[in-house]
Structures are given as structure tokens and as C-alpha cells.
A and B are shown apart, each in its own frame.
Chain A
Amino acid sequence: MKLLRLLGASFSMSLRRSVAFRINLVFDVLLAFAGLGTAVAAVLLVFTQADTLAGWSKAESLVLIGTYQLITALRGTFIDPNLSWFPETGVRNGKLDGYLLQPASSLFLASLSLSSPLALIQLVPGLGVLGWGIVSAERPPSVAGLLGWLLLVAAALVVTWALSVLLACLAFWASKLQLDVFYHSAWQLGRYPTDIFSRPLRLLLTYVFPMALIASVPSATLLRGPRWEVMVGGVAAAGFAALLAVTAWSAGLRRYTGATS
């Protein structure tokens, strides 16, 4: 409860800081629509040449893009402002030292205390594309499909947070290693159904760097209905990823001796 209050307070402060720069809001709105427009256009191009993309219909592909955008927007709002370029901004600049002195969980402060409310704008076109996909589907999603989608989106958010924390934890062992560009590039692979990739890459994106869980799995659940093994697997993956992130953070902190030492 205390952490939720802290999250609310920091979001409120970030929001007030952000709206002071209104021209930035205009740029962010334009970029959000342009970025999603490009992604949708690239997929719609495929459906001018084929009826399905690796077994995915146009409606399912739109739901996938909408879901991907939703999670990307939430990542950009709550996770990226904290953990992007963490080796530089968190460790070498000494910000982590400040977190360690405060009376709250250092992992929470380092990974969720700042936010970028303007990035939430991406949610609007994302939800629009999601709605477009649902309306275009041959049959509407069932209640079970909707609940399964909500659960898997929550699991995907936990996995996203855990992946970012694990990436940040590398700074404790190799403080000059910056993998943010790599991470953001690999993230783009989630924009398409994992079925289009070759088998080795598909296995990698399912079990090692689980981009399949980010958009493909929730989207398939929404329109094709939930499968219990997928639901259990998604929740278990989220739990395991969170546990791994907390463990890595604790191990990293034990190794950490301060920015100047």
C-alpha cells in the first residue's frame, strides 16, 4: 500500500513537470500516432498481398499491434524513465546511493519511482487499434478470452519490468556495458506474430527473451480463447522472471560498494 502511494505521488509530480512543456506534448502526440501508423501500415501492406500472415488474420494482427503498443506505452511511462541507461544514470552518477539512503525498497525506487506521463499518450492510438482489431474479428472475444487477455497482459508487464531490472543489474558486474539500444531493438520483434520467425528464433523469443509473451500470446488468447496451459505458463513465467529480478538485484547490491569507490 505504501509503495502504491509512493507510485501515485511520483506520478503526480512527474505529470505536473511534464505539462509545463506543452510543445513537447504536441511532439509526443504526433510521434505516437506516426509510430503506430507506420506499424499498422506495414502490417496492412501484407494483407494487400495475402489473407493471413503465418496463420494470423488481419484482425488478429491488429489486436497484436494494439496489445504491443499498450505494453510499450506502459513500459515507456513507468519503467524506461527509471531503468534506461541505468549503468550511466543509476550507478556511475551515484543516483543509486541516494536510493539506498531512503526509507523505501531500493528496487522500487530505482525501477518505478519516476514516470513519464506524456508517454501514456501512446495508449490512446494503441487502444484504438486494439478496438479496430476486435471489431474486425469474425466473432467477438468471449468473456473468458477477455479475462485471459487481461491476466496475460499483467503477466507481460511483470516480465517487461523484470527484463529491464535484469538488464540494469548487469551494471553491478560490468558498469560500462550498455545494452539499452540492443534491448529496445530486440523489443521491436514483439510487433509481429512469433510464428513468422524461424524455429530457433521462435524458441529464443519464447523461452529466453520472452517477446512472445508480450503481445503474441495475449492477442491469441483474446480472439482464439484461453488455453489453460498457456495461462499457467504465462503466470509462471511472470513469477519466475520477478523472482529472478529480485534475486539479481539483491546479489548486485551485495556487490555494490558506492559510485565513488
Chain B
Amino acid sequence: MIVARTVQLLGFRLRQEVLEWSGSWWFLLTLVVQAVVAPLNGLFVWSAVYPDDPAIGRYYVAIILVTLMTESFEQHTFSERIYDGTISHELLRPQPVVIGVLGTNLAIRAWLTALGAPVVLLAGFSLSAGFGWWPVLLSLPSVALAAVLVFLWTFLLSMAAFWTDRVHAVVGFGSQLIFLLGGTAAPIGLLPDPWRGLAGASPFWGMNGLPAEIAAGDPYDGSIAAAWGYQLFWVVVFVVAVWAVWRAGVRRYTAVGS
């Protein structure tokens, strides 16, 4: 009953946000550019190093798509509401605050994926990056888990707004970790030891690189179940962390303005 109601509320919120963002398509296009620049840089750099390796192109085309589908902006959509106090309205509503945050997140991702699809297709055709249907299908659950991981990670860092007004610096630092250890700066197979081991065990690989590797068909050579298990483990860790920080943050927020 609670789950059905939550899903219904999320559906309403998602529809509302999709419609609201439809008026800002020009701004959404600039967000697409923002999302694809780092993977494109990686693509150009590694294509210059390995000009004859088609796997590089295929991997980075997948990274671009995964990035578009998992982008999160809670430092803008959520933290700003803490700063201007409008989160109080959400706290008074008979529904979890996270539903609004999640609805906005999903709406922006849907728009970014739709508007960024031509970039992905263009990159794919120009690099002659062929994908197999089976690896792409297998990667879908991994992409979904990556989307959950990126949301939880960004939401977790965005809650720093309860304590500091430098939330953009905090989230920016988190994004740099994803860039470096998540497989965007370089496929983690190209990292030197011990960084390769560290990246492979960190949650960041599961946010970008792992689903891209599965979709590209290589170089991931483990079992799919192990990949999903690794991502699920980090989802559970982040859910617990988000829950704990949210409780502490809301207790802190009650003091603001009182």
C-alpha cells in the first residue's frame, strides 16, 4: 500500500517536472554539453594514444550515454532549497521529501537522454562503434543501478548544505572522484597499480565505467551477477549513509531561523 502510494506520488511529480523542464530546452541542451565534455575529452585523449583500437571508441560512446542517463544535480535542485528555506514547505507535506528530489532528478535525466541521443549516435557512427544487442541488454540493469548510485552519492554530498554554504565545492570534489576513478578519465584497466584495484573496489566504477564496459562488450571479463552484486553492495551502503545524514541534517535544520 505504502509502496503503491509512493510510486503514484513519484509518477505525479515526475510528470509535473518533465512538463516544467520542457520550457527550458535550451538550458537542458547546455547541460547535455556539460555532461558530454569530460567523456569526449577522454575519447580524444585515448584515441590519440591508441588510434587503431576500436574498443576505445566503443567504450567512450557507452560512457557518454551512461553519463547522460545518470547525471545528478541535487546540489542545485535540493541544496538550494535548504539555503533559501523552501525545503520547509516540503517537510510539512505528508510525503517523503526525497520524492520531490527524485522526481526532478528523473525528469532531468529523461530530458538529457533524449536531447543527448543525437550526440551519442553521431559519436557512434563517426567512430564506427558497433554494439551487440546482448551486451547492451545485459548492461541495462547495471545502468539502472549506476543511476541509483550516482543519485545517492550526489544526494548524500548535497546534504552538506545543512552544515556549510560551500555545497558546490563538496559535490564538485565528489564529481572529480567519479571522473578519475569511475572510468571517464581512463578505462580503469589502463590505470596503474594500485589505482586499478582501488578504482575497481570503489563505488565510482559502478557509477560509470562498469555499465559502459558491459555494454561495450569488453574489457569487463567477470560475471554479470558479480557486477550487479558489487553495485548492490554500494547501493545498500549509500542508502544507510543517506538515511543517517538526512536524520542528522534535519535535526540541524530545525535550528535555522529559530
Which residues of A come within 8 Å of B, CB atoms? 23-24, 27-28, 30-31, 34-35, 38, 41-42, 45-46, 48-50, 53-54, 176-182, 184-186, 188-189, 191-192, 195-198
Contacts and interface: CB of A to CB of B under 8 A. Distances in A.
Contacts of B192: 45, 48
B224 to A, nearest CB: 27
Contacts of B172: 31, 34-35
Contact of A41 (B41, B165, B169, B185): B185
Contacts of B44: 192, 196-198
Greatest chain B CB density within 10 A among A46, A177, A180, A195 is at A46
Nearest to B185: A42
Greatest chain A CB density within 10 A among B33, B165, B169 is at B169
B33 A186 contact: yes
B38 interface: yes
Interface of B: 26-27, 29-31, 33-34, 37-38, 41, 44-49, 164-166, 169-170, 172-173, 176, 179-180, 185-186, 190-192
A196 B38 CA distance: 14
Q: Secondary structure at chain A's binding surface: helix, strand, loop or mixed?
A: helix
Contacts, number: 88
A99 to B, nearest CB: 26
A177 B24 CA distance: 10
Given A38-B176, A197-B44, A45 B186 contact: yes
B258 to A, nearest CB: 22
A196 to B, nearest CB: 4
B64 to A, nearest CB: 13
Contacts of B34: 181-182, 184-185
B210 to A, nearest CB: 18
B49 A188 contact: no
Contacts of B186: 42, 45-46
Given A181-B34, A185-B34, A46 B49 contact: yes
